[in-house]
Amino acid sequence: MSKKLGFRKALETKVKKSQVAAKKKAISIFTAMSVAHVDEEEAGSGEVRHVEKVLPRGDFYIGEWCDGLPHGNGKYLWTDGCMYVGGWFKGKIMGKGKFCWPSGATYEGEFKSGFMDGQGTFTGFSGDSYKGSWVMNLKHGQGIKNYFNGDYYEGEWRTGFQEGEGRYQWTNGIHYDGQWKNGLMNGNGRMEWSDGNSYEGCWEDGFPKGNGTFRWPDGSSYVGVWSKDVKEMNGTYNPSDSSTEKPDWDPQVVFSEYLKECKICPGEKMSILPSKKVPHWPGMGKGNDQGRPRRMSDGKLNCHSFSSDMHDVSAISEGDSKDDDDGIESLCLEDSTSRGSLPHFKTPTKRQGQTISKGHKNYELMLNLQLGIRHSVGRPGPVISLDLKSSAFDPKEKVWTKFPPEGSKHTPPHQSSDFRWKDYCPLVFRTLRKLFDVDAADYMISICGDDALRELSSPGKSGSFFYLTNDDKYMIKTIKKAEVKVLLRMLPAYYNHVRSFENTLVTKFYGLHSVKLTGTAQKKVRFVIMGNLLCTHYTIHRRFDLKGSSHGRTTSKPESEIDPSTTLKDLDLNYLFRLEKTWFEEFCRQVDRDCDLLEQERIMDYSLLVGFHFREVPTPLASGAVTPTGNADHENEEVPRLSQTGQDQLDSEPSGGSSIRLGISMPARIEKTVRKPECETQLIGEPTGVFYDVILFFGIIDILQDYDITKKLEHAYKSMQYDPTSISAVDPKQYSKRFRDFILKIFVEDT
């Protein structure tokens, strides 16, 4: 431990010295220069020329210049010692180039809009290096990493972490070949120690978990179920031909001793990313209103764009973050020919839904629901195994509990009326919550805490009511008896599907319950608890519910009434969604897998819910709460600012604290489209070449509609009046094909 602390202190000292030296060098360069100032008369429009410019903050640029912005090849030096040499496109770092930090660290490779994106090599000040694929500042794809302590990893990466197939080699001779997830050994893999011993089998979160075999060099082995929990572990020792006696060996020694030497090196951190060093060009883009600093109500200029640049997760900082302010002021420098003005947003006056307080018609139902959830989740149960027996999925597998107002042996006294509570397939849903990494305590606090639920203002088309938890994590939907039957029928296939494909886009179900009031009312309410796809600290500026059909698929609201809480439909869609290549390929595969499941289960009428956040629109964060932005394009209005807490959160966590995965917090681009006036039912408009950077969320929802006799009659009736291909109610096979074809036309690879 003392050696590690000493090494880290030495690195920190080295960094500080190098930064001081870099700043002194930069100051000496700038004071010795006598070059043209940036506000000198510009050349003619479209003319590329070579310039040397000192900017007002002391930064220096030398290279090709066009229309008031760097365009071509050029070198930029910041006063804090950072430097970039390479390609520029209309004021943005683009193409091949090299970025140098004052510590001596470098990145050389491809850039897109200031982000390290494409093939590139990072060489750290401490000896770290990574060569491989990058996506928006994160290691993503195939890559090789050499760590400063001598460790080595070669394999697949996803959003900055080892994920997929890969090999990790420790300096002490131990190596692991196998599957990874979130930077830890997860899945099937083999680890071999320098003494010849090995373990091959299942891993979870960096430790053996599940079926596995430990082998000795003499051929003897221990085969069984592995776990850090001694109670869950059991197995059999198999001696080799040359061995007759069972050794005095405890398999837990693998956890307590063997794996102590197998820590994954955290690597080195880039304290400032190239995308955050966007220069401040006073002369930027004539006629581009979007590039002008906005004036605050106090007369000061606000130059922050607050786009959520992502950080590679590591442990050793290159320097003190307080020194990172020089040159960070970032403005949108896009040319007006490739970007349009951001849409004007009507500001929601309050959060979605009506708080269910005392006196609300459903107040008692909410109390019943909360009492039941607290009882179900808090009830002790057996140790959860992901391998469930078929009996757990039996529709008859349900638990009834009486809740008298005065309380009982198993239930607390309460202020509501007498009711009965039913849990459907409780073990299955308990296991699903574990599979989806839902902590039982957090789940109970979200649903059953002091904060009331919120009821969405109007029921859906089906007549179902929706309730949101106060933290927006979970959505509770009332469902019909037929939908309960559909979910229970498809539950085994659904469970196997979400277990096999962690990036599945289908709705996450956490519980299925019912409340039955006793007495004369005899009212029975069934409901399912789901994950809220659009739960995020980002403001969702636009949301679409997309099916691939045209009949009735438009919002009746006039444009003036559409706000960020409005769910638009297929004929309202005016964007194409552009995903980076590896994300796009995974998206196509997953849409096929998910549609295969739904088609197999005879499900139709589902849709893809898509929400996105425009990255150029500032979003204030105060104590973690979201306040929607107003009309961000109005130059004279006050632009909300991030609190320091919110800014620190964005600076310290990838994508502003949201985990990036398929359909969740995905950085992407969208392209504006327009429909031809004569084609009112045209589903996909023509691309305009106008792009926006967004954070994207999407998933498949409403997956409990069976193609029953009601839907068959609806199909027959509407087919006589409208084009059969334009209506929602069609056979599941036809629905699946139409849905896939449509989705894979509006989602395209970003080239």
C-beta of residue 482 within 8 angstroms of C-beta of residue 462: no
pLDDT at 346: 61
CATH of 160-242+250-265, one of 2.20.110, 3.40.1000, 3.30.1490, 1.20.1690: 2.20.110
pLDDT higher than threshold 80 for residue 582: yes
Question: What is the predicted pLDDT for the residue at 710?
Answer: 63
Residue reference for tokens 């993503």 = 140
Residue 24 has pLDDT above 70, yes or no: no
Q: Comparing 424 with 640, which gets the higher pLDDT?
A: 424
**Integer Rg of the chain from CA:** 29
Which is more confident, 36 or 501? 501
- Amino acid identity of 473? K
3-state secondary structure 176-224: EEEEEECCEEEEEEEEECCCCCEEEEEEECCEEEEEEEEECCCCCEEEE
User: How distant, in Å, are the alpha carbons of 576, 585, 681 from that of 687?
Assistant: 8, 21, 17
pLDDT tens digits, residue range 268-310?
A: 877 788 877 766 665 443 333 333 333 333 333 333 332 333 3
pLDDT at residue number 562: 77
User: pLDDT tens digits for 338-369?
Assistant: 455 566 666 554 567 778 877 788 888 888 88
Percent of the chain with pLDDT over 90: 26
Across 178-186, average pLDDT:
90
Enumerate residues 6+ apart whose C-beta is below 8 A from 198: 190, 191, 192, 214, 215
641 pLDDT tier (thresholds 50, 70, 90): very low
Confidence of residue 20 (pLDDT cuts 50, 70, 90): low
- More confident call, 172 vs 550: 172
Q: Residue ranges of the domains in the chain? A: 160-242+250-265, 354-532, 536-616+660-750
Residue pair 201/211 in contact by the 8 Å Cβ criterion: yes
| Cβ proximity of 366 and 452 under 8 Å | yes
Dihedral pair phi/psi, residue 428, rounded to 5°: -65, -50
Distance CA 105, CA 116 (A): 14
For residue 682, is pLDDT > 80? no
**pLDDT for res 645:** 32
CATH among 3.20.20.210, 3.30.810.10, 3.40.50.2000, 3.40.190.10 for 536-616+660-750: 3.30.810.10
Is the model's pLDDT at 639 over the cut of 60? no
pLDDT at 55: 80
CB atoms within 10 A of CB 108: 17
pTM for the complete prediction? 0.59
Confidence of residue 113 (pLDDT cuts 50, 70, 90): confident
Weakest mean pLDDT among 389-393, 394-398, 516-520, 600-604: 516-520
Split at pLDDT 50, 70, 90, the class of 244 is low
Mean pLDDT of 123-143: 89
As a whole number of angstroms, the distance between CA 407 and CA 371 comes to: 11
pLDDT confidence tier of residue 176, bands split at 50, 70 and 90: very high
**Res 251: pLDDT:** 84
Q: Which of 1-15, 326-340, 359-373, 396-410 comes out lowest in average pLDDT?
A: 326-340
pLDDT bracket for residue 258 (50, 70, 90): confident
Mean pLDDT in residue range 81-87 = 91
For residue range 642-664, what is the model confidence (pLDDT) as tens digits?
333 333 333 333 333 346 889 99
With a cut of 70, say whether residue 161 has pLDDT above it.
Answer: yes
Do 176 and 185 contact (CB within 8 A), yes or no? yes
Is residue 328 scored above 60 in pLDDT?
no
| Architecture of the domain whose range is 354-532 | 2-Layer Sandwich (3.30)
Confidence of residue 477 (pLDDT cuts 50, 70, 90): very high
Percentage of the chain lying above the pLDDT 70 cut: 72
